[in-house]
């Protein structure tokens, strides 16, 4: 009799959230939530304001400690690891750039702190600047950049760290409509080029439908449906999903 190894068909998971509960005092924002994100997947967490998207992302990033449950990244239990040791890069809605440093300084700061060699830092900055088309901006300070340019630099800071997983928390919501659609295309291109895992939080249905490999629709801390955009649009699980995504039901 042939023995079939049981692991050969298991999809590789980049991020796994296991039985995650997060409470702020008596308010339980996430209750026993489970989610598996595949290697190289673009997963969008979609839901209206206050449903718990940022809380979930912050738990994955290590910025919030779960009340219960575990987080795995690349099959490693990172629940108790520092954010900097998780192999993730995070891009927020507000750019969180150091105002006193140039763009180059912002990009290199984390790498210098980590003790990386100068030549390697220069190489990484050159690559990120080329990918994000911010080469002419390297000697400027954040105050001299537009919102879209600042957000490119914020993405660049994750890019230079060569992380496995990118976490985006509503990165485009402070931008005007034109810039938003431009940067949406850019982020999509970045994902196609890097092929890394991206978890992207938004309340914007269009962003979700155009960017995602799969969408997880959340309401009150509970995932209502997890599927590819076409399935979500054509076959919503329930009236909430149908109403939120604007599909006929």
Instruction: Give the residues lining the site for ligand ADP (CB under 6 A).
Output: 24, 27, 29, 47, 49-55
Residue 103 CB, shortest distance to Mg ion, in Å, is 26
Locus of tokens 């105050």: 143
Half-sphere exposure of 211 (CA within 13 A, CB side): 35
Residue 25 CB, shortest distance to ligand ADP, in Å, is 7
Residue 51 binds: one of ligand ADP, Mg ion, none (C-beta under 5 to 8 A by kind) = ligand ADP
> Residue 137 or 217: which CB sits closer to ligand ADP?
217
Beta bridge partners of 46: 202, 217
Site size for Mg ion, by CB under 5 A? 1
Residue 52 binds: one of ligand ADP, Mg ion, none (C-beta under 5 to 8 A by kind) = ligand ADP
> Residue 24 or 80: which CB sits closer to Mg ion?
24
- DSSP sequence for 84-112: GGTTEEEE-SS----TTS-HHHHHHHHHH
> Residue 48 or 146: which CB sits closer to Mg ion?
48
**What is the pairing mode between strands 197-202 and 165-169?**
parallel
Of residues 69-98, those binding Mg ion (CB under 5 A): none
Of residues 33-72, those binding Mg ion (CB under 5 A): 54
Distance CA 45, CA 199 (A): 7
Residue 19 CB, shortest distance to ligand ADP, in Å, is 18
Residue 202 binds Mg ion (CB under 5 A):
no
Greatest CA separation for the chain: 70
Residue 50 CB, shortest distance to ligand ADP, in Å, is 4
Q: What is the DSSP-derived secondary structure letter of residue 158?
A: H
Give the residue among 118, 116, 193, 186 at the shortest CA–CA distance from 155: 186
> Residue 54 or 205: which CB sits closer to Mg ion?
54
The alpha carbon of 249 is separated from its chain's Cα centroid by a whole number of angstroms, namely: 30
Residue 48 CB, shortest distance to ligand ADP, in Å, is 7
Residue 66 CB, shortest distance to ligand ADP, in Å, is 13
Total residues found in the chain within this entry: 249
Distance CA 114, CA 109 (A): 9
> Residue 25 or 99: which CB sits closer to ligand ADP?
25
Residues that bind Mg ion (CB under 5 A): 54
């Amino acid at each position: 009799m042939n023995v079939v190894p049981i692991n050969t068909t298991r999809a590789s998971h980049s991020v796994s959230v296991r039985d995650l509960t997060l409470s702020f005092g008596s308010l339980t924002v996430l209750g026993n939530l489970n989610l598996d994100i595949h290697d190289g997947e673009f997963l969008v967490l979609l839901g209206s304001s206050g449903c718990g998207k940022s809380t979930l992302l912050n738990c994955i990033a290590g910025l919030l400690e779960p009340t219960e449950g575990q987080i795995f990244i690349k099959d490693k239990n990172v629940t108790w690891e520092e954010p900097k040791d998780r192999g993730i890069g995070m891009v927020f809605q507000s750019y969180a750039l150091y105002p006193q440093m140039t763009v180059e300084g912002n990009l290199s700061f984390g790498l210098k702190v980590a003790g990386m060699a100068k030549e390697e830092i220069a190489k990484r900055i050159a690559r990120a600047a080329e990918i994000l088309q911010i080469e002419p901006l390297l000697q400027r300070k954040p105050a001299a950049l537009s919102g879209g340019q600042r957000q490119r630099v914020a993405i660049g800071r994750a890019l230079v760290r060569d992380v496995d997983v990118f976490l985006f928390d509503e990165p485009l919501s402070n931008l005007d409509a034109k810039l938003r659609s431009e940067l949406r295309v850019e982020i999509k291109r970045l994902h196609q080029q890097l092929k890394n895992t991206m978890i992207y939080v938004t309340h914007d249905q269009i962003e979700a439908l155009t960017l995602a490999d799969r969408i997880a629709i959340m309401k009150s801390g509970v995932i209502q449906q997890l599927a590819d955009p076409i399935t979500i649009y054509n076959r919503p699980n329930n009236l909430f999903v149908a109403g939120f995504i604007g599909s006929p039901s």
